[in-house]
Amino acid sequence: MLEARAFEPAFLQKLDGLVLGTRRARTQRAGQRVVGRHQGGGIEPENFREYSPGDDLRFLDWNAYARLDDLTIRTFRAERQLEITIMIDASASMAVPADDDKLGLALTLGAGLAFIGMNENDPVRLVAFAGRRAGTRIETTPFRRRRETYIDFRPFVSTLKSGGETRISDAVGELLQERRAPGMVIVISDYLVSPGDYEEALGRLLGVGHEVKALHVMGDREATGNYPPGAYRVRDSESGEFRDVVFGPAAAHACRRRAADHAERLSAFCTRRGIMYAPAFGVSHLDDIMAREFPRLGVIN
């Protein structure tokens, strides 16, 4: 399985030192950290102010109260961190064509990006989503910051199974119910849904202040239409609908054109909405995608 590569030392070694590209300021470490203005629960004192009811008494400066008899609250400079949520499409369409192993590609990319995010001690979590009859199913891992805990993603990555329909907007809606601080959301999917669905989903993520990256995963076969020639009945893996198709050169050309149109439309939407769009077509191109395409597209620095 391709997702096993995500935990191979050689693969992780290539990712060591990479940083997720982001337009936000973040706490920098070892000269790279950028000090933000956000006041929070850091350890570095920042200022004093008068106590007002409701303040945490733990931060009351008792020495100043003893000497000056004034209630003074100490404030600290908070560290600026970016929560990274990596949403992985686990619908049935990610499992076909079987030899394309799109789900494996998506998991490998997601885990790799998670590893890169953990390089900055940013909290990272993986979210798998797929539509079910009872609603959208979301499986979420806890946020993990330190690289030492990267291995804890392994059970999630290795046991994730595909199934159900692709409902990106429903998954995003369910995710946003957590009302977390804006961070970075990376959506990895084949986006084989109606344009309205993914446009709504990505728009809602943008609406709550998330920085959104759209990774478009497609298999080699479905991207090129390289099916064995002959008469077939094709079955939609999610809807279960059938259709009689005769594969041949003409059919392959039509498939390629349709896949290109689909990717072009998604790319155009992302460009229009300021979303970073990165195609990842083909398992065989995994190394090129991680080493060349993602840096070129600014997914990682």
Partner 1 sequence: MGLLNPLNLLYALSLAALVAIYLRALSRPTLEVSSLMLFEEVPAPVAKSRLLRVDRFFWLEALALGALTFAVAGLYLRVHQPVGRNHRRALVFDLGAAMGATDDDGSAHPGSRLDEARGIAEKIIANAPVGDRFTVSGYALEAETIHAPGGDPHEARDALAALAPQAVAARPAALRAALMRARGADQIDLFADRPPSAAAIDDAGLAGRLNFHQVGAPAPNLAIVSLDAGVPHSTVGRCVVRNFSNRPQYCDLVIEAAGREVFHSTLIAEPRAEIVVPFGPLPAGGLVKARITSHDALAADNQRFAFAPSIAQAHALVLSRDAAVRDDLARIVLAINPNFMVTAADPLRPGSFNPSQHFDLAVIHDNAGRGVNADARLLIFPEPPLNGSKLPQLVPVTGSVTLAEMQEREGSGSLSAPVLLGPARILALPPWMEPLARGVSVGEHQSFPLAAFGYDGNVAVGVLAFDVRDHLLLDPDRMDALVTAIDLLHRLVAPRDVLIEPTGAFVTATAGAHPRLRAPDGATRVLTPDQWGRVRFRTLQAGRYLITNDGPAVAVYANYYDAGESDLSTPAGVAAATSPSAPTATAGAARLTVEPIAIPLIVLALIALLVESVMLAQRAIRWRTARV
Interface residues with partner 1 (CB under 8 A)?
93-94, 96-97, 102, 190, 192, 219, 222, 225, 227, 229-239, 241-251, 254-255, 257-259, 262
Minimal distance in Å, beta carbon 10 to partner 1? 30
Minimal distance in Å, beta carbon 122 to partner 1? 32
How many CA atoms, within 13 angstroms, populate the side-chain half-sphere of residue 48?
10
Q: Is the CB of 80 or the CB of 102 nearer to partner 1?
A: 102
Q: Is the CB of 154 or the CB of 256 nearer to partner 1?
A: 256
Q: Is the CB of 73 or the CB of 130 nearer to partner 1?
A: 130
Separation between Cα atoms, residue 126 and residue 128, nearest integer Å: 7
Minimal distance in Å, beta carbon 166 to partner 1? 8
Minimal distance in Å, beta carbon 94 to partner 1? 8
Q: Is the CB of 82 or the CB of 96 nearer to partner 1?
A: 96
Minimal distance in Å, beta carbon 49 to partner 1? 58
Minimal distance in Å, beta carbon 106 to partner 1? 12
DSSP codes of every residue in 3-19:
GGGGG-HHHHHHHTT--
Q: Which amino acid is at 253?
A: H
Q: How far is CA 28 from CA 32, 33, 76, 102, 173, in A?
A: 4, 1, 17, 35, 32
Separation between Cα atoms, residue 236 and residue 152, nearest integer Å: 34
DSSP codes of every residue in 157-210:
HHH----SB--HHHHHHHHHTT-PPP-EEEEEE---S-HHHHHHHHHHHHHTT-
Minimal distance in Å, beta carbon 298 to partner 1? 28
Nearest to 151 by CA among 276, 28, 9, 300: 9
Q: Is the CB of 48 or the CB of 232 nearer to partner 1?
A: 232
Q: Is the CB of 104 or the CB of 117 nearer to partner 1?
A: 104
Question: Look-up: residue for tokens 């395409």?
Answer: 293
Partners of 268 in beta bridges: none
Q: Is the CB of 34 or the CB of 234 nearer to partner 1?
A: 234
DSSP codes of every residue in 17-36:
T--B--SS----STT-PPP-
